[in-house]
A and B are shown apart, each in its own frame.
Chain A
Amino acid sequence: MSVTIEIPTAFRRFTGGAPKVDCSAATVAEALNQLTARFPDLGRHVRDDQGQIRQFLNVYLNEEDIRFLGGESCTLKEGDRVLLVPSIAGGSGL
């Protein structure tokens, strides 16, 4: 399926400034893998050492958080949009 991944400003230095990246993938996982294969420096910002999507990165398929769609194995339709949005947390340390 031909889909578009939307890249937040903070990630664009890894994508040569591109705000959107088109790819052909059957699942969100495949799309993310293609993205990070094409832009390897982005890889460690998308997945942690265990290969999981990083805790403070939210991934959406169109309007929905992929965690409500069964996670990154959820399937894509032609023309779908995948959004990467850094989580907005404050946390607390001293």
Chain B
Amino acid sequence: MSDQYQLRCRECGKTWGNIPRSFCEDCFSPLEVAYDYDSLKKTVRRENLAGRDFNMWRYAELLPLPEGFTGPNAVGGTPLVASRKLAAKWGLKNLYFKNDAVCFPSLSFKDRVVATALSAARRFNFTTVGCSSTGNLANAVAAQAAQQGFDACVFIPADLEPAKVLNTAVYGARIVRINGNYDHVNRLCAQIADRFQWGLVNVNLRPYYSEGSKTHGYEIAEQLGWTLPDNVVVPMAGGSLITKIAKAFRELVTLGWVEAKPVKFFGAQATGCSPISDGVKRNLARFEPQKPNTIARSLAIGNPADGPFAIKQIRESGGWAEDISDPEIVEAIKLLAETEGIFTETAGGVTAGVTQKLIAQGRIHPDETTVVCITGNGLKTTDAIAAEFPATEAIAPRLEAFEAYLDAQLGATAASAKA
């Protein structure tokens, strides 16, 4: 096989070629995609990127894509927003928001992982693809499956936010609602992948799927002028993204595309579902699973599959993990919108709010370069903040009515504005 990559067991190191499987058949530990970096170093150059569009496929050689693959759509390539107002408010000199709230096509970073997973699904000749999902992943699978001609069947907790269900249904995907939380759904999907010949992106295609997350990290480095930040703050659900951003940075160092530099990784969770941050803070050998109870539904994974790796990554980098309450999440969503013009979903509120907490704790310093990863769009979780913005009274379409309205609303301020 001419692939520059194959699956390798994290624990026993056995290699498996390229097959749709997420765990080693010998020792049942997780499989990951391993690359021939010596060979890549000779053939892949940073300069080659110059003529390519700014989306995730510009890093194709660093992804597990079949030979001759061409990206079917412009996934990724999202803005790195240099913060002015929040940076000033929080006293930071170099603060950035990596904004995957505007990721194409379904407005979350899950578009990246689904993109690599479906390239694997096609390679393995699956005609039906699916996932267990807290919402964003189902949206991404449904959208890209529709475009690429796969049948899609997604499994979600029955009580998911209506907007996320609608944003999946509209693409024609079959939606199976499960009476249970995400961890129940995920367990069922492990059993389904065991029984059916389906490409479940975050189950039997998981090694290929999770590699797509690396492009979030590549883009950060490239948008910082091929340098690495000092700190990255990442939301954690299953715990995969934070480890894959770290992998992306290590790869760029290995390839000589950026200079080596210590990067601290900070994980963000909601207090109502915080098994990973709890594991970091209490220095547990194994995290303790939790029953999720938070408005941050997209992070509500009580038994995070990559939790052990996320904890290790955070600890070894000298970073930390924190969690915030539901009211703090709502406040952070509003703060990010009011200061940076970025409307993020609850997970982004978690990340922004945790960043604020980490700064207050003195774990993130003013002179350092800090990147905060915003992974989903606020239009998907409007229910979580609707109560903050009650409908206002309507007025008559007359100038006097508006003046009266202004007087009532603003009092003296309005009076001076009129003058």
Contact = CB atoms under 8 A, between A and B. Distances in A.
B184 A89 contact: no
A92 B247 contact: yes
A63 B28 contact: no
B30 A87 contact: yes
Contact of B209 (A58, A63, A85, A90): A90
Given A91-B243, A92-B313, A93-B247, A10 B306 contact: no
A56 interface: yes
B250 interface: yes
Nearest to B190: A85
Task: Determine the interface band of chain B, counting residues with CB < 8 A from chain A.
Answer: 35 or more
A56 B286 CA distance: 11
Interface string B307-326: 01100010000000000000
A20 interface: no
A24 interface: no
A45 B184 contact: no
Interface string B278-293: 0000000010110100
B23 A86 contact: yes
A9 interface: yes
Given A55-B286, A65-B289, A88 B28 contact: no
Given A9-B194, A10-B23, A68-B291, A92 B309 contact: yes
B317 to A, nearest CB: 12
B303 A93 contact: no
Contact of A55 (B244, B250, B308): B308
Contacts of B74: none
B207 interface: yes
Contacts of B194: 8-10
B230 interface: no
Contacts of A57: 28
A60 to B, nearest CB: 7
Contact of A85 (B30, B191, B286, B306): B191
A87 B30 CA distance: 8
A45 B305 contact: no
B273 interface: no
A67 to B, nearest CB: 5
B183 interface: yes
A59 to B, nearest CB: 11
Contacts of B187: 58, 60, 65, 83, 85
Contacts of A92: 32, 210, 240, 243-244, 246-247, 309, 313
Interface string B172-190: 0000000010011011001
A14 B30 CA distance: 19
A8 B25 CA distance: 11
B25 A10 contact: yes
B146 interface: no
A90 B22 contact: yes
A56 B23 contact: yes
Contacts of B34: 93
A7 B180 CA distance: 22
Contacts of B246: 92
Interface in B2-36: 8, 10, 22-23, 25, 27-30, 32, 34
A34 B254 CA distance: 48
A89 B28 contact: no
B306 A63 contact: no
Interface in B335-359: none
Residue with the highest number of chain A CB atoms closer than 10 Å, among B28, B190, B247: B28
B262 to A, nearest CB: 16
Given A56-B30, A90-B244, A94-B250, 9 more contacts: A87-B305, A89-B22, A90-B30, A90-B240, A90-B243, A92-B210, A92-B246, A93-B34, A93-B247
27 contacts: A9-B194, A10-B25, A45-B27, A56-B28, A58-B187, A58-B303, A65-B303, A68-B289, A68-B291, A83-B191, A85-B190, A86-B190, A87-B305, A88-B22, A88-B23, A88-B186, A89-B238, A89-B240, A89-B305, A90-B32, A90-B209, A90-B243, A90-B305, A91-B10, A92-B32, A92-B210, A94-B254
| 5 closest cross-chain pairs (CB), A and B | A92-B243, A90-B210, A89-B305, A89-B30, A92-B247
Interface of A: 8-10, 45, 54-58, 60, 63, 65, 67-68, 83, 85-94
